Chain A
Amino acid sequence: MKVLVFTRTPSAFAGLAVQKGKKALRIEVLPMAGVRDAIPASANEALVYLDLRGLGEKERDKTLSLLNKHPDVCFGIIDPAGAVDDVAALFHAGAVDYIGKKLGAGALTARRLSKVAEYSRSVDQASDTLDLSEDMPEPMSAEGSDGWSEIVPGREYRFAFLYIEADDAEELKKRYEPANLASAMETFRGFIDRTVTQHGGRLWMWSRFGGLALFPLRGGTSLAPQCGLRILLARIFYDVEESLLPGRLSFRMALSVGSTLYQKSNTGGIVSDGINSIFHLGQRFARPGQFLLTEEAFELSPQQLRGYILPAGTYEGRRIMRMLRPVPAAGNPENDPACET
């Protein structure tokens, strides 16, 4: 595997590039200036490291957003200054390594690179071939009155995962002042939280632009698909009556079924294939405005709803469905600025 290290100070990594031996990785240490061209070309080809030292906030955000736009690129971040606030979000976006303040840039050794390369290959293989639900231990289902009363923090359960995230966060950041955008996203969170709660779910994780809700599976059923439908239908009213943004907010959703350890707080540190998988589906496969469902999530949907759900392709070895979207008046999606197809 090829490893590309982009940095402002190539000399700091000079020792890395001269590996010898059978298992030697092809390591290239390159100036940061070439990163914009190199990232798109690196999909499935290389492991990319970005050294954030010496980058201004704007340049750092731009480069990270470039990575978000190319989900097939495996990447690691070298951040000795600890400039990244939400490290977990990097991993949700496809990161395979993070070298932070405690480790220091010196931790990027040939040995570590070999391990990371091996890990990133195994992640690729797993996501291409495995139906993750088959290999999971038998987690508990919540059968209580509301599904939540029997759920005990610290144990693993099967849930319906509903992922929701505003589209084009980079554009929103460019367009609005940080404080105004933060208030607007807080209002969006409130709308999602309220609707999820009305359908027996809980908004479990939330970063700036989106998050993850959990719905207990009661006797193998859940109101999660109905919740997604309700959010689609309520979107217009949210935009007009609650949203603080002058335009309409486009967002995507994805629904799957999986297992996770349940904790009330510190959810950022939870490692779960199910959670990784739903974030990948939402961030990498869903298009703006879409509501995607895995086959298992489709099985949760009541019969009446299935007529509104269509096949949408395959992702990570699983069949994916999408819910039709409401369109206004004469059925002309062009009338609806948030309905991108």
Chain B
Amino acid sequence: MHVDLMEKVARMVISDYDVHERSGFPSNIPIPRADAARHILRDFAQEGYLLKLIESLIEVTAHGDMGREVRIPLLPRIIAEIEEQGYRYSAEKGVFLEAGGRERTMGWGTLHEGKTYEFALLRVDIAGNSKLVRRYPKALISAAYSNVRDLVTRSVEKREGRIWSWEGDGGLAAFYFIDKTIQATLCGMEVIHELFIYNLFKRDLPEPVLVRLAVHAGPCRFLQSAKESAGDTIRRAEMLESRYTLPGCLTVSPGVFTDLGSKLSPLFTQVAGPDNGSVYRYGLEWEKK
């Protein structure tokens, strides 16, 4: 691989990357290929972008460069070594993801602390928590809430989302990859359906457990400690859930709704939202008897 292409691949990750500037080579002197490769690898490893660099290399070998085929003979070995570290490459998403056996991290093992990314956020809250807590023994409530959390976690992780925070009666999940708004919305809908089945056949509480769910998408600073995370996107998701969502329903913001497409959007009803605007509601109901 010639140096220009190496630099091009590097710029797919760090847009202003300049191998001459980083290595100290004068710009009018060509850098030997081995030196360029060594500098790029060192820089990307130091800045925590090594996986992103490999993802870019995979992309270039898969699609070529300006119509030319690009071959990297050792790439399969590099991928195998990364996978041995507990990752798997998702060709669909074009990224390395944490494999099943590895502990799932909040940043998918690829996001950088303190950086801002676009996320779709799903806010979940058990409706009527205070009343339930007053009415039933603590053990019964703990078991029920734990079941709800498990159910939400299964649905979130099935769609490559991550639970960012969970405290007693609710939490926040994040979706980052392709179709993130659709994934978050489907997750919210599935939680409603799964909870219906749970309430019908499995619950120990004398009354059904209902949740309020809301999906909103936007930029958000990524912090491993989600408790410290804040920002407009998180606040808006919380506000949609607490003020514009009925128990047993999912609310999505207008931006999310526009992403839903023709199969999902007809299932939502437009209702009044904040700032004289609209939000969109999904709830599981049954045809009238």
- Please tell me which one of the listed residues A233, A335, A337 contacts residue B197 in the complex, with CB atoms under 8 A apart: A233
On chain B, the residues within 8 Å of A330 by CB distance are: 269, 281, 283, 285
| B282 contacts A by Cβ under 8 Å | yes
0/1 per residue, A148-169, Cβ < 8 Å to B?
0000000000000000000000
| B189 contacts A by Cβ under 8 Å | yes
| A308 contacts B by Cβ under 8 Å | yes
| A329 contacts B by Cβ under 8 Å | yes
| B284 contacts A by Cβ under 8 Å | yes
Do B200 and A329 touch across chains, with their CB atoms under 8 A apart? no
Do A236 and B189 touch across chains, with their CB atoms under 8 A apart? yes
On chain B, the residues within 8 Å of A310 by CB distance are: 289
* A304-326 interface (Cβ within 8 A of B): 304-305, 308, 310, 324-326
On chain A, the residues within 8 Å of B284 by CB distance are: 233, 326
0/1 per residue, B264-289, Cβ < 8 Å to A?
10111100000000000111111111
| A240 contacts B by Cβ under 8 Å | yes
Chain A contact residues: over half helix, strand or loop, or mixed? Answer: mixed
Do B201 and A329 touch across chains, with their CB atoms under 8 A apart? no
On chain A, the residues within 8 Å of B261 by CB distance are: 240
A172 to B289 alpha-carbon distance, docked (Å): 31
| B182 contacts A by Cβ under 8 Å | yes
**Given A233-B193, A325-B287: A240 and B282 within 8 A (CB)?**
no
Q: Which residue of B lies closest to A230 (CB)?
A: B197
On chain A, the residues within 8 Å of B197 by CB distance are: 229-230, 233
Q: Which residue of B lies closest to A331 (CB)?
A: B285
A44 to B269 alpha-carbon distance, docked (Å): 47
Do B267 and A331 touch across chains, with their CB atoms under 8 A apart? no
0/1 per residue, B172-207, Cβ < 8 Å to A?
000000000010001001100100110011000000
On chain B, the residues within 8 Å of A304 by CB distance are: 200-201
Distance (whole angstroms) from the CB of B114 to the closest CB of chain A: 33
* A213-261 interface (Cβ within 8 A of B): 226, 229-230, 233-234, 236-237, 239-241, 247-248
Q: How many residues of B contact A (CB 8 A)?
A: 26
- Please tell me which one of the listed residues B189, B264, B286 contacts residue A327 in the complex, with CB atoms under 8 A apart: B286
* B155-175 interface (Cβ within 8 A of A): none
* B233-289 interface (Cβ within 8 A of A): 261-264, 266-269, 281-289
Q: How many residues of A contact B (CB 8 A)?
A: 32
| A333 contacts B by Cβ under 8 Å | yes
Do B286 and A325 touch across chains, with their CB atoms under 8 A apart? yes
A161 to B146 alpha-carbon distance, docked (Å): 36
- Please tell me which one of the listed residues A226, A308, A324, A329 contacts residue B268 in the complex, with CB atoms under 8 A apart: A329
| A339 contacts B by Cβ under 8 Å | yes
- Please tell me which one of the listed residues A237, A241, A329, A336 contacts residue B281 in the complex, with CB atoms under 8 A apart: A329
Do A324 and B287 touch across chains, with their CB atoms under 8 A apart? yes
A144 to B196 alpha-carbon distance, docked (Å): 30
- Please tell me which one of the listed residues A302, A324, A325, A328 contacts residue B266 in the complex, with CB atoms under 8 A apart: A328
On chain B, the residues within 8 Å of A237 by CB distance are: 186, 189-190
On chain A, the residues within 8 Å of B282 by CB distance are: 328-329
Distance (whole angstroms) from the CB of A227 to the closest CB of chain B: 12
Q: Which residue of B lies closest to A234 (CB)?
A: B193
On chain B, the residues within 8 Å of A328 by CB distance are: 266-269, 282-283, 285
On chain B, the residues within 8 Å of A265 by CB distance are: none
| A145 contacts B by Cβ under 8 Å | no
**Given A326-B284, A329-B285: A233 and B266 within 8 A (CB)?**
no
On chain B, the residues within 8 Å of A11 by CB distance are: none
A220 to B28 alpha-carbon distance, docked (Å): 85
| A341 contacts B by Cβ under 8 Å | yes
On chain B, the residues within 8 Å of A234 by CB distance are: 193
A-B contact pairs, 23 of them (CB 8 A): A226-B201, A230-B197, A233-B196, A234-B193, A236-B189, A236-B264, A236-B267, A240-B264, A241-B186, A308-B286, A310-B289, A324-B286, A325-B287, A326-B286, A327-B287, A329-B283, A329-B285, A331-B286, A333-B287, A335-B266, A335-B269, A336-B267, A337-B266
Interface residues of B (CB under 8 A from A): 182, 186, 189-190, 193, 196-197, 200-201, 261-264, 266-269, 281-289
